[in-house]
Structure 1
Amino acid sequence: MQDPVSAHEPPHDAGAPTGWWRRWWGSQTPGRQDRFAMLAPVAAVLLFLAAIVSAFWYLRLEEMDREHEAVRRDVEYAQQRVRLRLLERQEQLMRVAHDISNQQLERDEFVSRIEAMVIQYPELQAVAWIDDRRRIRASYAAPSVAAGQLRPAGGVLRGGETESIYTLARDLQQPVYSQPAAGADGSGLLQLHIPLSNQQGKFAGVVLGEYSIDAILRYAVPAEVSAKYAVALLDGKNRIIAGNSVPPRKGPSQLLPWAAQPNEYEVPVSPVGNGLIIRAQAYRTSLGVIGSGLFWLVGALSAMTAWMLIGNWRHTRRRMQAQRALVAETNFRRAMENSMLTGMRALDMQGRITYVNAAFCQMTGWSEGELVGRTPPFPYWPDEDREQLMARLDDELHGRTVAGGFQVRVKRKDGSLFDARLYLSPLIDAKGQQTGWMTSMTDITEPNRIREQLSASYERFTTVLEALDASVSVAPLGSEELLFANKLYRLWFGVQTAGHLQMVAQAGVPEQPRLDESLDAVDSFVGLPTGTLTAARSENAEIFVPELGKWLEVRSRYLNWVDGRLAQMVIATDITPRRHAEEQAAAQAERAQSSSRLITMGEMASSVAHELNQPLTAINNYCNGLVSRIRKQQINEEDLLAALEKTARQAQRAGQIIQRIRSFVKRSEPNRTLSDVATLVSEAVELAEIELRRRNVRLSHYVAARLPKLMVDPILIEQVLVNLLRNAAESIEHARRPASRRSVELRVIPKDIDGQPVIEFSVLDSGQGLAPEVMERLYEAFFTTKPEGMGIGLNLCRSIVESHQGRMQAENIYNGTDVAGCRFSFWIPLAGAPDALENKNAGVAV
């Protein structure tokens, strides 16, 4: 029989690796084991150094990426500022060109107006008015312009580049920028040619504006960008025409790939295009605090590594002392086993009892001498369970054990029985060899009685909850464990706690802290007063669960669970039928309110948004011009009266527009007059071109010559044209057409329809066309394909056209089988045509 003490001593290599590694490690001497143990810190130091080098490299790459992103963001911001400044100057020069084309600006007024612009905007160096024969009719230049660059009135346009851009502007009938070039004094110049047209729509010359590129860089680029970077403007050949650059770095920094060249970014400046490029180069900065911080970090980590090596060496010395103390510790643990209340039994590989502790003898009533050395069947086995216990013992000896233990009945020496739970584990000696099996036995008679009572109570409890028409679930706070779920909850959400948490989150219950895994099942609220939570009233909320397609009324409250943890109970009732009835009633009321608001808005805001902008802008320009000329004492009484008369006419026009809109709101009659078609189209194009330019869409329009006048309300017809032109631009943008195909064509020609002379207005775009289902509902009120649209634009346009006895239609343009665009057209009968004047004062149902 094996000695009980030696049989239960834990082996010295219990923590060593298994398999061949354990055998190899055990065959080494303690000295070699210590030397091998020292290799681990050395490997750790090498890995640490490799990690530091990788970290330095990674941080530097990250810093380079951040610097480059900052340069790119700042350059794009500066490019937008330069672009907006050029567009503002272009818009002002286009207004001057428009006034010249309309014969509203004479030479003297031109010079004074340009003088004010040149004084106000330093980048604008000179502006000249050139007719269709290249003769300079009027010009003005800043005092800083060299004498060789002046273009005196009466002269002729000279210069190869300037003449070629002049010809290009004449052919395109659009503003054209020239390539940046150096002036006589070395300063960069940029020219803008804006074409002029006469009353017949023919080319009548250009307005030539010349910009100083140095001034553009100085005044358009934000000061914060200029302070951080070396900003320069380049021409199409990448030559610097304004600004400065950072010289290449010299010295050892050239060995580093990121230090050889400065961090820079460049982008073309629109509307000039690739002919003008803005570039910014970041000035070199030192690492500063970052470098010092990394240095001290590396030093601290190195000191910690040295300290760990010293600690490991000291730990190796203490290891031998711990081994000597292990035997005494084992004997101490043996004494503890004998004093505990759990019964312990040891079997050898043949099933013979080799050891029992005092607790085992006390449970069975048999002494140690009566049990040690016995073979199956054991005396504490009940007679009726011997076959079952013999089969169980055979499974134990062959390693077929149950991890959670198993329950058996045990007979005491006096013949009484009790319930016990046995746990079996292999018995390993000091050499790592299995010498038998160790069994622990616990008396579970009283726990079984309590469990049976709890089971009966639980069964009654669940029977009631399973029959409820509401979902009931209980989960502890801060955990994903589901403590209880009735039948309806399992039917809706399964056996997971996701449904419970989803209902709590949607019901708006504040989120509770989650448990750390290291705390096992310890309640995070342990030790805290929970009386206020459990005594509080339940919280109610109505939520929608998309997975179920149901509306649920959720009631939740806190309670103390049977194990003392604070839990939350959620009761959910299906209220879908009631919510559907409420939603239908609310939807009907909302539709009625929405219809009322949209009709009122359409009546009051259809015309005033675009039409008031033009006269108010003209009034502002006239007043600013009068103030400027009066301050400079450059205006006489006749010019003052003329400007005031124009201002009064624009104010009268704005008042007429407001009065007309008020009339529309009251369903009054529109104001129809004999209107010139060319003027009407010109004003509509001027309003729409702003939107088209923003969307990068070209507009070409053709108006037939010698068209008779129409008896129409010009503001309403302009509104129809502007709406159609904007819709065409939006269709092109949604179709994402390339720049060469982003064009809109407006044509106005006379026609005969059913023997009646009419004027037809047509707008042709290169967008994606109209789908058949959209074509059927195109003029339906409140129908729209735009996410932000209200569906009243085309319906309103058709109402306006039909109120003028006209018609509107839409059709797709095909290129083979592919849709190449869409054509909207409407026609208005002539003023002298039959039935055209019959209802000229008929009201428009706006």
Structure 2
Amino acid sequence: MDRRTRILAALAALMVGAVLAAAVMLSIRYERSERQEAVLRATEDAVAAIRARMADTERRLGLLAAELQRSDAAQHFARMAHELLAEENALLRVEWRDDSGALLHGAGAPAPRPKLDSSLRGKLGFEAMLALRSAIEFDRPLYSRPYYVSFGDSSGFEVTELAVPVEGSANEALVAVYSMPLLIDGTLPASLLRSHQVYLTETDGTFVARSSVRLHGAGIYTASVPLELPGMSLQLRTNSAQGSPKLIPNLLTALLIAVTLGLLASGALLWRDSRLRARAERELRDQHAFRKAMEDSLFTGLRARDLDGRITYVNPAFCRMTGYTAEELVGRAPPMPYWLPDLVQDGRPRLDRMRGSDAMRLGYETEFVRRDGERFPVLIFEAPLIDERGRQTGWMGSILDVSEQRRVETLARVQQEKLQVNARMALLGEVASALSHELNQPLAAIASYATAGENLLAAGRPGESEDPAQPTRAGDGGSVGALRTALSRIRDQSERAGQVIRSVQAFMRRRHVDRAPIRFDALLASIEPLIQLQARRSACTLNWRADPDTIVLGDRTMLEQVMLNLTRNAIEAMEQSKADRRVLEVEARREPPGGGAVAVEVRDRGAGVAPEVAPQLFSAFVTTKPEGLGIGLSLCRSVIEAHGGRLRYLPREGGGAVFRFELPAAEARS
């Protein structure tokens, strides 16, 4: 045996010896602790028993004190007192006294209990008298401090007296005399008295009484528990006769414990190994079930293929998408049944490109055909499948059916076209209104000048008479007639143009708004895709909020056009701002909350509006954009005013602009 082995063996022996020594010490300490706790529990149980027994006596005396107003009170007291003395062997005497201590009636305990005759009870001591008067004064049961009573043969013991006031009397009480040694012997279990030294002391340690069993404790396991009673505080002390734990039994116990611990350690290791294995299997099953449930709940189709393009896995979403079962698809090699016939030739070159793409992720859009022959667009993302050794074994494809997205985009495009048509019609009306305002005055002037020319001709100037019989001068007849004809035509055409413009104005004044209840949160939600499209182009973020009670009566198309114009202006105003400030905020709320108006605000973080431009901002043909016509805000103002509202501009704190309009709420209008 080499030196290293001997050292290891010595260390193992030392460790075993240390373990055994530690086991013996722990066993002794544990046994000592258990014995001490047993003594304490026994003492607490003894105190509880004494307290319960004295409480029962107190209750019975209280019942007797409540019945002493009857006519046969003396006989009733004697009968009940003797019954109580017969049942409670710790009582020596029950008395009926007044507040001066005078004895009215009394009953003594039967033999063999010590007898306290009238000579010993003729006059109460200080402690008993104090308890009697305090019980009467405070109208509650009270105990006296224990005091010593001696007999003629030079023997004696400690007693305590319980005073219970008589109900209905202000100066009388019942007094029960307890023997403290008899209280210990008659109340505590015999097993405790045979194995422990039991005695009562006052709180300062003054000895009061002990059990009649003259047993001396070993002084190793002791306990002291307070016995609190009304007017009296004592300590019940116990001293066990047991000595210190023996070494040999504990050594055998330690050996047994060591062997048991070794077996338990082996069993624990086996149990731990089985638990770890069972947990690993359970986690594997849970993970598999979780992934299966996740794959089954996806709306995205999943398809796995090997490097040759053969399908190795499909999820239920892909099967629902194509109409084929997993059994029909798994193991299938190209061409696939869901490929379009005219796109089959494109599938093989794509596979070749995927093999040579060095495991790069690919994304492309194509079309599939369902089992029933329906064609639908799909968006495919291919990612490489890598095994545990880092080698690519195939491709995992995520297939999205974008037919619904295409339908939504088509509807959005149609809606946008409708909105543009409505916008053009509204713009045409605004242009016509502006042109009518600008052209009415010149046309009126032309008409005035034409009328003045005719009046001049009719005034009888030379050569300008309208009488056909009157001759005209040579060279003047033709020119005068041509002048009259031209002036007449100027007047006619001016009146005709004015009539056309007045007709346009009348038509514009007669146009009406088709009013219906509109929820602004629903309106904003319907045009959100259009706003988002414009915002994404300008790298802006859209944040909008609308309370559900923002309901107005109006033309939905016109109000949508107003919101689109205002949001488009806000997005264009932020194109030169920093990226983190390009936030478009739209909010619709009741003002005041629950009130009769709906306030809508469109806020941006652009450059704002110059102070000199702000007063004319809503006028036609006034614009701050180089390519603008100045019609949009004028159109918005006209639409809002047609709905009974008001559109205005406010500068935004921190930079930017706020366009705000208020419309009457639907409830207020109704």
TM tier, smaller:
0.3 to 0.5
Larger Rg: 2
TM-score when normalising by structure 2: 0.36
TM-score when normalising by structure 1: 0.29
